[in-house]
Each structure stands twice: as structure tokens, then as C-alpha cells.
Amino acid sequence: MTTLTFDRVALSSPVTDTVSGHLQSAGFENPPDAWRILGQIDGRLAPLALPGNPFPALVEAAGVSLQPDRALISLHTLFTRCGDEHIPALLDLLAVPSDSRDALLTILSCSPYLSNVLVQDVGFLLDTFAGDSWRVLQSAEELDAELAEMLQGVSSPDEAMKPLRTFKKRAYLRIAVCDLMKQTGTPAILERLTDVADHCLQAAHDVCGMKLQERHGRPMLEGSKPSGFAVIGMGKLGGRDLNFSSDIDLLYVYDATDGRTEKDGTSTYEYYPKLARAITDLISRLTPDGQVFRVDLRLRPEGRAGDIANSIEGYRWHYEIQGQAWQRQALLKARCSAGSKEVGGLFLDTIQPFVFYPALDQPLILEDINHMRERIAKALIERGSGDYHVKLGKGGIREIEFIAQGFQLVYGGFQDWPWERGTRNMLASLAEKGYLSDEEASDLDDAYLFLRDLENRIQMTSGHQTHEIPKERGAQAVLAGMMGLSGTTLEAREAAPDRMLEAYGKHTARVHQIYDRVFHSAM
């Protein structure tokens, strides 16, 4: 391909059969469109009168990516939108084959959502890919320091809207690159995604709390003791294994209802719902810069009809008097994500006896969980999603989670097990205790990592909370490439979707076999 001259006279003319053949052999499915896009890129670059001919390198870079046509479209968008001052550095980055160029083109070819992050912030793109910083997964401490710097001088939720969204996009882009380029393992990826959410929630708590205190004063309890509020992460946030496009499930809790603010005497019963609504708005409001996270508050007592924030005593009363089995199951993941660690710890201590009590109804617990699984399966069949749903399908992520949670709910109370929120750690613990064989625990762990890897790549592609393997062959090929299953030869790339679906089928069949053994045995 690099033998073609791509002179600007040729680029302004219709594609020839010779050039079309070269483009097709380089991996482009639609050579006329690719040629037209190259001409448009030339129209953007020609007025700059830059030295050299960049087009052989651009075609080569796009051609070796996971999806050459998509990569070229992304490059066109990038050149069209970026300022003249960035174009020489961008061309330098694309001119020579390198791991950094491959990493950039991987994003541009497979994820319109993440590509848009780079298009909107070319300075960040160059900072990330011009060197090797993309190889290293930032630590939680580094993320915290970066967000603190971005929020310096911010004094209101409105001022925090843009920096919080920028921080999340940049952090997720770097994590995605490390993931796709196999610079770190899936467990670390899931933990770091969770760290980003925790830092954003803590920042929202601090900014919104500061603004409310300016108006009402600091909330205090009797005896001049400061009152406190915590954000409890549930679901994958609580388990520290967040997805790339997860909702975040939250509960808001405060210490007591009888406190008052110092300035105007507002009760904590009135004050903390205001704080909860402010945090939710800052995190979830859809702005021109997007959202930080979608927030789901339906796990609170009474669901949507309930108070947005409750005191520790309010939660205790609800779970003791009105609590249901599904709430016990959900609370297994509860973790203090932001706010007062003291209040969060008191909340967890208070609800622990409800979650882990010496149960006399073990068969009913398992029956409830299995009925929930059956309802999920029926709903998937009705909408035609069962075969390819990574999360909820037969043998999917949810069955692995239900296995771990079922054992915890049945045995955790009267055997006084430690509170384990992570699915993989629980599987290892179950093998140690003899409830799963070593082979079963290992197979479930392998399946969990494969399915979470697959789920994350599905979500990277679209930026939406979707869990289904696409049914189109071309989209499956891209997904298989993102999973590292495409190989280097044409034959290997063409067979990649079959290899991916075969691996998916083996993992899910084994998971469902173990699920059946667990839920239909004497336990």
C-alpha cells in the first residue's frame, strides 16, 4: 500500500481500479468511500503546506487497525475538528509504526464513544499517546490528585459540572487503552473504574456540602457533635467491579434526624435530602459535556416512592420490619463509597445483622433467588435476547453472582463469615470452605473474567449500558479483535467471531452446569 504516491491530483479524482484493489487488500471494505475521505483529509491539510506526504502512513495506520473504514472516518473527524497548531504533532504521531500509534488507532477504530473524547480534546490525545503514559494504569492516589487539581477554585455544583465530566472521560479513556492493549489485567481495570466513581462521588459530596453549609450552616447533633452523611455504593460499585458504562446504584444515609444546622436551625431530616438531591443532580445531569454517571436510587426503602436519604435508624427499622429477601441479597454489596466513613461504618454495622442472621429458611432463600433467575430468563426469551446476553443470559454473569450470593445468604450468618463484597473473592472462599470444588471455583472465576472482559468491550464500543453480543458478523469480528482473538492472518481474522462465540458458549455452559448443581442439590 505504501508504494502508492497519493499525490493530490490523484486524490481529487475518482478512485481507479488499481487504487481500489490496494485499498481493499489493505483491509478497507468500501474503497470508494475511503478514497473520498482521504480526499477530504487532503482538503483540510493542503492549505497548511506541510512538508512530506502523510497519506501512505495514514492508510497504513488505519489499515492495520481493528476496523480500517471506521478508523479512517475517525481520523477525518480528528483532522477536521482539531486546530492547525495540533496537526503537525498529530501527523508525527501517525507517521511511523509504533505501539503508541497502534493504541491510538485501536480506540479510533473500535469505539466511536471514546474517539469522541479524543476529538474533543486533542491536547489530551497528544499528551496521552505521544509518549508511553498510556501504558500505565493510574493509581487511585494519582486519580485523586488529578481531580483535586481540576477542581481547584471550584465553589459550587454548577462550576463542578464540566471538570467532573472531563475528569471521568479522560480517566476512562486511559483505562480503556490499558485494557485493550493488554497492559494490565481485568481485575485491576474493574477496580480502577470503581475508583473513578468513588472520587467523583466524594468530590460531589464535598462541593455540594460546602454550598449547602454556606446557606444553612453546619449540621450538628446534640452535644455540639458534627453530624455526618455517607454515600453507600451498591451493586458493582459496592463490589468494586464497575463496568465501563454502568449505572451507579446508591443509598444515601445520615446519622440521625434530630440534628440542626448552626445558622438557621434546619433539621437534618430536611437538610440531608437536599444534599442527596444536589449530589445526584451534579453526577447525573445531562449537560453538553454529558453525564458523570447515571444514578439509580431504586434500592432505597420504598423504591422511587421512598425518601431519597434516610437516617441509620430509619434503615434499621425498615429492614427489620419490612425488609425482603431481595434486599438482603442487594445489601451484600453495600460499601461506603463517599462521605463520612464513620457514618458509613455505623450504617454497615447496623444492617449487618439483617443481612447475615442465623437463617432457618435456607431453602426459601435459594428458592427466591432461583425464581428471580427464572423471571430474568423468561423476560430475555420474550424479547429475543437470551442467547447473547452476557450479563443475564443462561450461564452469564448474573448466575455466577447468584451462586456466590446464595451461599453467603444461607451460610454467612450462622457460620459468621466475613462480609465479602467481591464475587471473585467469594468464589475462592467457597472453594476453601468446601462448598465449591477447586475445579468449579476455578471455572467460575475464569468465566467471570472472560464475561466481564467481553461486557466491558461491548460497552466501550457504544458508550451505552448494553450487555449483548452483537448479532452482525462484522460487529462480532471487531469485538473478537478487541478481545485479542483476531490473529494476524486473513483466515484467522475471518474465523475470530467463531472462536469468540465458541469460548463464550463453553464458559456459559459450564457456569450453568454449576448453577444447576448448586440450586438443585441439597446444599
**Total structural domains within the chain:** 3
Asked if residue 208 and residue 288 are part of one domain, the reply reads: yes
Helix (H, G, I), strand (E, B) or coil at 49: coil
Given a cut of 50, is residue 100 above it in pLDDT? yes
Q: Is residue 3, in this structure, part of any structural domain at all?
A: no
Burial class (CB in 10 A: 0-12, 13-18, 19+), 111: buried
Given a cut of 50, is residue 1 above it in pLDDT? no
Asked if residue 276 and residue 224 are part of one domain, the reply reads: yes
Asked if residue 433 and residue 402 are part of one domain, the reply reads: yes
Residue 335 phi, psi dihedral angles, 5° rounding: -150, 140
DSSP E strands, 15-60 = none
Q: In which band, very low, low, confident or very high, does the pLDDT at 93 lie, cut at 50, 70 and 90? A: very high
According to DSSP, residue 303 is labeled G
Report the C-alpha gap between 201 and 311 in whole angstroms. Answer: 19
Q: Which of 66, 100, 135 is the last residue of a domain?
A: 135
Asked if residue 107 and residue 69 are part of one domain, the reply reads: yes
**Residue 224 has what pLDDT?**
84
Sign of CA dihedral 299, 305, 311, 314: negative
Given a cut of 50, is residue 168 above it in pLDDT? yes
> In this structure, are residues 336 and 345 in contact, taking their beta carbons and an 8 Å threshold?
yes
Taking CB atoms within 8 Å and a gap of at least 24, the contacts of 313-317 are 313/256, 313/257, 314/257, 315/251, 315/253, 315/347, 315/350, 315/351, 316/350, 316/351, 316/354
> In this structure, are residues 172 and 129 in contact, taking their beta carbons and an 8 Å threshold?
no
Cell 485491576 belongs to which residue?
A: 188
Asked if residue 240 and residue 217 are part of one domain, the reply reads: yes
Given a cut of 50, is residue 518 above it in pLDDT? yes
All three cell numbers of 386: 437470551
Q: Is residue 437, in this structure, part of any structural domain at all?
A: yes
Residue among 351, 336, 359, 387 nearest 504 (CA): 387
Q: How is 125-147 classified by DSSP, letter by letter?
A: HHHHHSSSGGGSPPPHHHHHHHH
Residue among 70, 43, 67, 66 nearest 55 (CA): 43
Average pLDDT over residues 165-185: 95
In sequence order, the β-bridge partners of residue 338 are: 231
Contacts of 167 (CB under 8 A, 6+ apart): 146, 147, 150, 196, 199, 200
Contacts of 49 (CB under 8 A, 6+ apart): none
**Residue 522 has what pLDDT?**
45
Q: Is residue 2, in this structure, part of any structural domain at all?
A: no
Asked if residue 293 and residue 179 are part of one domain, the reply reads: yes
> In this structure, are residues 350 and 367 in contact, taking their beta carbons and an 8 Å threshold?
no
Largest Cα–Cα distance of the chain, in whole Å? 86
Q: Which of 355, 384, 404 is the last residue of a domain?
A: 355
Asked if residue 126 and residue 12 are part of one domain, the reply reads: yes
Lowest average pLDDT, out of 55-64, 109-118, 389-398, 485-494, goes to: 485-494
Asked if residue 315 and residue 367 are part of one domain, the reply reads: no
Asked if residue 402 and residue 330 are part of one domain, the reply reads: no
Q: Is residue 443, in this structure, part of any structural domain at all?
A: yes
Burial class (CB in 10 A: 0-12, 13-18, 19+), 291: middle
Contacts of 174 (CB under 8 A, 6+ apart): 128, 133, 134, 137, 138
**Residue 296 has what pLDDT?**
95
Q: In which band, very low, low, confident or very high, does the pLDDT at 335 lie, cut at 50, 70 and 90? A: very high
**Residue 414 has what pLDDT?**
76
Q: Is residue 16, in this structure, part of any structural domain at all?
A: yes
Q: How much helix, strand and coil, in percent to the nearest 5, is found in the chain?
A: 65, 5, 30
> In this structure, are residues 482 and 110 in contact, taking their beta carbons and an 8 Å threshold?
yes
Residue 249 phi, psi dihedral angles, 5° rounding: -90, 125
CB atoms under 10 Å from CB of 243, counted, come to 22
Report the C-alpha gap between 253 and 358 in whole angstroms. Answer: 26
Average pLDDT over residues 158-163: 98
Q: Which of 234-238, 379-383, 474-478 has the highest mean pLDDT?
A: 234-238
> In this structure, are residues 294 and 249 in contact, taking their beta carbons and an 8 Å threshold?
no
pLDDT digits (tens, 9 = 90+) for 430-464: 999 999 999 999 999 999 999 999 999 999 987 77
Report the C-alpha gap between 504 and 471 in whole angstroms. Answer: 14
Asked if residue 181 and residue 62 are part of one domain, the reply reads: no
Q: In which band, very low, low, confident or very high, does the pLDDT at 8 lie, cut at 50, 70 and 90? A: low
CB atoms under 10 Å from CB of 304, counted, come to 8
Mean per-residue pLDDT of the chain: 91
Q: Which of 135, 157, 182 is the last residue of a domain?
A: 135
Length of the chain: 523
In sequence order, the β-bridge partners of residue 25 are: none
Q: By percentage, how much of the chain surpasses pLDDT 90?
A: 73
**Residue 359 has what pLDDT?**
55
Q: Is residue 1, in this structure, part of any structural domain at all?
A: no
Given a cut of 90, is residue 7 above it in pLDDT? no
Cell 447473547 belongs to which residue?
A: 388
Given a cut of 50, is residue 372 above it in pLDDT? yes
Q: Is residue 70, in this structure, part of any structural domain at all?
A: yes
**Residue 523 has what pLDDT?**
47
Query: What is the residue range of 205's domain?
Result: 140-355
pLDDT digits (tens, 9 = 90+) for 33-51: 999 999 999 999 999 989 8
Report the C-alpha gap between 520 and 493 in whole angstroms. Answer: 41
Average pLDDT over residues 226-249: 95
pLDDT digits (tens, 9 = 90+) for 286-327: 999 999 999 999 999 888 888 999 999 999 999 988 878 888
423: left (phi over 0), alpha (psi -120 to 50) or beta: alpha
Asked if residue 346 and residue 420 are part of one domain, the reply reads: no
Given a cut of 90, is residue 358 above it in pLDDT? no
Q: In which band, very low, low, confident or very high, does the pLDDT at 385 lie, cut at 50, 70 and 90? A: low
CATH code for the domain of 386: 1.20.120.330
Average pLDDT over residues 248-276: 96
303: left (phi over 0), alpha (psi -120 to 50) or beta: left
**Residue 438 has what pLDDT?**
97
Given a cut of 70, is residue 66 above it in pLDDT? yes
Average pLDDT over residues 408-422: 86
Helix (H, G, I), strand (E, B) or coil at 64: coil
Residue among 469, 467, 460 nearest 502 (CA): 469
CB atoms under 10 Å from CB of 399, counted, come to 26
Looking at residue 59, its amino acid is: V
Three-state secondary structure of 374-387: HHHHHHHHHHCCHH
Asked if residue 193 and residue 64 are part of one domain, the reply reads: no
CATH code for the domain of 291: 3.30.460.10
Q: How is 342-401 classified by DSSP, letter by letter?
A: HHHHHHHHHHHHHHS---S-HHHHHHHHHHHHHHHHHHHHHHT-GGGBTTTSTTSHHHHH
Q: In which band, very low, low, confident or very high, does the pLDDT at 423 lie, cut at 50, 70 and 90? A: very high
Contacts of 392 (CB under 8 A, 6+ apart): 376, 377, 380, 385, 398, 467
